[in-house]
Chain A
């Protein structure tokens, strides 16, 4: 796992989460900007996952490769799923969906880092 990229992703996720939760608290529906920001964030997460997948083929693999792969798939799919759900919900709850998505993603990235740090022979 790329440490710097993971950190950037986690920080970006937390900043976005605070923004979306604030928007939801102010009773705003997701704006174009909100949705666009989530799309950009999703692209960042995709880059992280691609880097992690490339890392699987050169160097030490995590001991639990299956679990790692499962988390990678979940991680890459999460932002787009939240985006689609938020688009279907043009109320304050759409922003809450985006906010919760941005709170769960750092957990996924942390878990990926944990699993990646245990490398087997």
Chain B
């Protein structure tokens, strides 16, 4: 696919906001940032004591998605670093939590975005960090 990025004066060249694919990526990341955080907010505010670990994890996942969205959108050295860190955390998170939720289901009585490799979300959480990292890799300096 051709890269038709048209850098503006104010935005770094690798800001995802500049290109069509990037905007699609941001839309998906934004949806996940919203759904993970909203879910955590409801869970923590209504029945935190039932599964504190899972709910704190939901909140953490929401923050990571938010950071990844902002990092990818901004681009530049700092945005890149932010996106790289958060996408890596995301990848490690979905893999570790995915394995743990299958092996040790008792520790995860309630679902998070990352449980069972994100099967509750159509495995999108498993694919998303790869796309994010691919984006960063493709736009490396």
Contact = CB atoms under 8 A, between A and B. Distances in A.
Interface in A65-94: 66-67, 70, 74, 82, 85, 88-89, 91-94
A14 to B, nearest CB: 14
B109 interface: no
A117 to B, nearest CB: 17
B42 A66 contact: yes
Interface residues of B, number: 14
B42 A96 contact: no
Contacts of B42: 64, 66-67, 70
Given A70-B38, A104-B31, A96 B46 contact: no
B82 to A, nearest CB: 23
Contacts of B34: 74
Counting chain A residues whose Cβ lies within 8 A of the other chain, the interface size class is 10 to 19
B65 to A, nearest CB: 15
Contacts, number: 34
A12 B58 CA distance: 32
Contact of B28 (A92, A100, A107): A100
B23 A89 contact: yes
Interface string A18-37: 00000000000000000000
Contacts of A92: 20
A102 interface: no
Contact of B27 (A64, A74, A91, A100): A100
Query: Which of B20, B34, B38 has the most chain A CB atoms closer than 10 A to its own CB?
Result: B20
A94 B34 CA distance: 21
B46 A66 contact: yes
A101 to B, nearest CB: 8
Given A67-B42, A70-B38, A97 B31 contact: no
B85 interface: no
Interface string B27-66: 1100100100010001000100000000000000000000
Interface of B: 4, 19-21, 23-24, 27-28, 31, 34, 38, 42, 46, 122
14 contacts: A64-B46, A74-B34, A82-B27, A85-B27, A88-B23, A89-B23, A91-B4, A91-B20, A96-B20, A97-B24, A100-B24, A100-B27, A100-B28, A107-B122
Interface of A: 64, 66-67, 70, 74, 82, 85, 88-89, 91-94, 96-97, 100, 104, 107
The 3 closest A-B pairs by CB, nearest first: A93-B20, A91-B20, A96-B24
